[in-house]
């Protein structure tokens, strides 16, 4: 058995090597993202592990079929960039890692909420943009324990976020298409997204980037929010209409945002070796706002998460290629 991983970052390499040695499997890696051209590096391999936000498209799966490679094992949760219909047509099995570390993403969401709430961006702006360093009335924040947090989506990550926010003393409400039947978490479901938007001081997104969620947060949604509310998105960029978000921030319709993922993320965003300068006008505009913290899709990034992403992805490949039952088939 020979396996190859694409778009491997420096922090993943020790875990990739360790898995190969532990399982006595030949494992190689490439720093390239995976597409119909770069897949040619996988000639002679049995399975591929991938991690990227750019598309896995029909051309890629057709090429994999021609090469006799029958499986793509993602090292992440999201499937919105995968043409699963094309994969099925080509006979390619696709798996993901549905839960590599929900707490890592939830913790980062809480971190962003606290930082925006406590005006950390204003402090950074004063020092790094104005060259000043002193107390300011602009730095007055709010206690999270005095606020209502609205969590959108109560899957694995959403549940961890609820646990953390309630631990900080916040009142938590949630909106989700499916409800938890039995839960020891202290929160209340609301009947509609609009109801959550009307009540919440902090809105925290933990839903997938599926077509029905595209631009769920648009101009209309922002007008529903309190002018004192903040938005936290560590889920998928497509959920939020970026132009509507920028307009809402500029017009004072909402008070701030913590954004870890944006629409139309480029391959360069996931390239840890990149030295390219930022040219995306939306990123630059958001970065200059003191009431916004924007980060490069890094909410997942803890040592526990990286280890689990690598190990589960390769375990999925091994299960499939040795005739075992595969745990994490993409649907």
Q: Which residues are identified as catalytic?
A: 236, 265, 297
Q: Which helix (H) or strand (E) holds 234?
A: none
Place of tokens 């090469």: 67
The bridge status of strand 93-95 relative to strand 71-74 is parallel
Nearest to 78 by CA among 239, 304, 251, 295: 239
CB hemisphere CA count around 43 (13 angstroms): 5
Nearest to 260 by CA among 204, 219, 221: 204
CA distance 269 to 21: 30
CA distance 315 to 331: 18
CA distance 3 to 6: 10
Place of tokens 């375990």: 315
**Cα pseudo-dihedral 210, 214, 220, 222, rounded to 10:** 80
CB hemisphere CA count around 202 (13 angstroms): 32
- Token readout for 226 is 């309190």
């Amino acid at each position: 058995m020979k396996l190859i991983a694409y778009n491997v970052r420096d922090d993943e390499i020790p875990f990739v090597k360790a898995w190969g040695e532990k399982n006595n499997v030949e494992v190689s890696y490439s720093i390239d993202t995976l597409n119909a051209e770069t897949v040619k590096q996988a000639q002679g391999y049995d399975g591929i592990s991938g991690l990227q936000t750019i598309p896995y498209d029909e051309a890629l799966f057709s090429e994999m079929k021609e090469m006799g490679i029958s499986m793509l094992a993602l090292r992440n949760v999201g499937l919105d960039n995968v043409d699963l219909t094309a994969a099925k047509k080509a006979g390619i099995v696709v798996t993901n890692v549905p839960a590599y570390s929900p707490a890592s993403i939830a913790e980062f969401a809480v971190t962003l909420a606290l930082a925006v709430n406590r005006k950390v961006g204003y402090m950074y702006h004063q020092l790094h943009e104005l060259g000043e360093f002193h107390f300011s009335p602009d730095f007055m924040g709010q206690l999270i324990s005095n606020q209502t947090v609205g969590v959108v989506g109560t899957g694995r990550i959403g549940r961890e976020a609820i646990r953390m926010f309630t631990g900080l003393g916040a009142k938590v409400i949630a909106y989700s298409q499916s409800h938890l039947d039995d839960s020891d978490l202290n929160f209340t479901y609301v009947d509609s997204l609009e109801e959550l938007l009307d009540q919440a001081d902090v809105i925290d997104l933990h839903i997938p980037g599926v077509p029905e969620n595209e631009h769920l947060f648009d101009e209309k949604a922002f007008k529903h929010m309190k002018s004192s509310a903040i938005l936290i998105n560590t889920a998928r960029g497509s959920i939020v209409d970026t132009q509507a978000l920028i307009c809402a921030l500029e017009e004072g319709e909402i008070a701030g945002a913590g954004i870890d993922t944006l629409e139309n993320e480029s391959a360069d965003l996931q390239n840890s070796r990149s030295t390219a300068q930022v040219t995306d006008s939306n990123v630059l505009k958001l970065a200059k706002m003191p009431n916004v913290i924007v980060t490069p899709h890094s909410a997942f990034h803890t040592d526990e998460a990286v280890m689990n992403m690598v190990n589960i992805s390769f375990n999925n490949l091994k299960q499939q290629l040795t005739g075992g039952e595969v745990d994490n088939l993409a649907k």
